[in-house]
Amino acid sequence: MKGEESVRTPMRIAVIGSGYVGTTLAAGFADMNHDVTAVDIDEAIVKTLNAGESPIHEPGLGGIIARTAGESLTATTDYTAITDAQLVFIAVQTPTTADGSINTDALRAATIEAVDTLVAGSERPDGHVIVIKSTVTPPKLAALREDVESRTSGSDIDIELASNPEFLREGSAVADFSAPDKIVFGIDSKRAGDWLEQAFEPIIATKSPDVIRTDPETASMIKYANNAFLAAKISVINDIGNICKEFGIDAYVVAEAIGTDHRISPEFLRSGVGFGGSCFPKDVRALIAEAAQAGYHAPLLDATVELNEEQPTRMVSLLEKHLNPAGARVAVLGLAFKPGTDDIRNSRSIPLIEALKKRGAQVVAYDPVATPPMRERFPEIEYANSAAGALDGADAALVMTAWDEFGALDTEFDTMTRPIVVDGRRIIERRDGITYEGLTW
Ligand code: NAD
């Protein structure tokens, strides 16, 4: 935000949870010149922030923290630092459970601790709005709101629980926070809406996002609907892509044409090996599971997940058209769930590696940044230090992440024992001397 307008009326803001979302939010607000306290139970994260460094890898975030730490941004493990905050954002994790629904233990613990701290020591006569940033399903948000109401009912401190879901993407978190398409305020009072608008005022003034005011549960449903729709769009184009492959048609030519229809739009039409990460799989599963608990079976979302699970298996089937993986040396290029991140959560490379191992392949994997977490997940496979190293002597290569450097590979394929390349991301050029299979083209 630096270089753009600072907020006209700085506010006291606390952000609880300093992961991907919380750190981006705290740094973003601090950069607008709000007075921000980041609270995390992890002392190492607090120390890192106070030293002016980013605890996570996100383009642009380090610079913002370097210039705001010790000024408009401070970090602490101590909840009593929030007692003078007008807005208290909660951005802790809401992980998935075995049945697909979300676990709100951390969210509940952080929210209750914030509420109890404010009830015990509020320094604001005008009260506080606690804003849930974490992704939480409408039924679980409603339950949390009931908890909060029961804890505040005897108190004369005015505490409202609101919801302000986050739509940023890892890898472009700062840019997404600074220029969102929309900002959704789930509120019960005009006051809460006005305070939130004041907090986001420079973004609203300069980037003109749509500002939507609704009730908290609807706000939370908007977040789930957004991700469910995008995930379904990916699975639809993958379904179409699989059909194209069977028909001998290039799905990318088809996608480019249908993307000109403004009702479809060109975004999210790159068919391939599917979606991963910490959000789409978790959010779609949560919606399916909690809709089922409410009595509705969501067939399209079920199919969205099922198809996504199938795509890595299709990579292996294409490989098997050319070679029996048993005993073969198979290079897996790309381990991160998408380029630009070291995050491997739900990476499509995980089921792929499992499938290859099951068939007795000798897997050699490479990723420019995501090798360390994958080494923890699969310590038994081999890891190369470069794409060239992975290809050297390999019988086949499966391309799983669209890192730019894979697009630049050329003579490196000549060192393969059998140059069979199955591309799951349309990043490798077809060329003489390699047997090339595109997943959907
Ligand atoms: P994260 O796991 O990176 O960070 C959570 C942080 O909260 C950790 O640093 C943890 O130490 C801290 N924490 C846990 N309990 C705490 C407590 N009681 N008090 C203080 N701090 C506590 O999580 P994230 O990726 O930032 O996601 C946070 C929420 O935002 C989740 O609900 C997620 O679904 C949602 N979300 C994430 C993204 C994304 O791209 N990562 C995008 C949109 C929404």
Residues with CB under 6 A from ligand 1: 16-22, 39-42, 45, 91-94, 106, 109-110, 134-135, 166, 168, 170, 278-279
CA of 402 to the centre of ligand 1 (A): 26
CA of 135 to the centre of ligand 1 (A): 9
pLDDT at position 285 over 50:
yes
- The pLDDT value recorded for residue 171 is 85
- The pLDDT value recorded for residue 170 is 86
- The pLDDT value recorded for residue 341 is 85
- The pLDDT value recorded for residue 5 is 64
Q: pLDDT, tens digit, for every residue of 149-162?
A: 999 998 999 999 99
Mean pLDDT confidence for 333-361: 96
The overall average pLDDT reported for the chain is: 96
pLDDT at position 1 over 70:
no
pLDDT band at 4, cuts 50/70/90? low
Q: pLDDT, tens digit, for every residue of 367-396?
A: 999 999 999 999 999 999 999 999 999 999
Residue minimizing CA distance to atom 15 of ligand 1: 106
Please give the share of the chain, as a percent, with pLDDT higher than 90.
95
pLDDT band at 10, cuts 50/70/90? very high
Atom of ligand 1 nearest to the CA of 39: 20
CA of 413 to the centre of ligand 1 (A): 41
- The pLDDT value recorded for residue 57 is 82
- The Cα 138–Cα 204 span in angstroms is 26
- The pLDDT value recorded for residue 3 is 44
- The pLDDT value recorded for residue 72 is 98
Residue type, 151: R
pLDDT at position 351 over 80:
yes
Atom of ligand 1 nearest to the CA of 17: 7
Mean pLDDT confidence for 336-358: 95
In the set 90, 161, 173, 279, the catalytic residue is 279
Residue minimizing CA distance to atom 37 of ligand 1: 21
CA of 20 to the centre of ligand 1 (A): 7
279 is catalytic: yes
Atom of ligand 1 nearest to the CA of 56: 3
Q: pLDDT, tens digit, for every residue of 63-82?
A: 999 999 999 999 999 999 99
Mean pLDDT confidence for 340-359: 95
User: Which among 93, 96, 170 is the best mutation to test ligand 1's pocket, defined by most ligand atoms within 8 Å of the CB?
Assistant: 93
Atom of ligand 1 nearest to the CA of 55: 9
pLDDT band at 54, cuts 50/70/90? very high
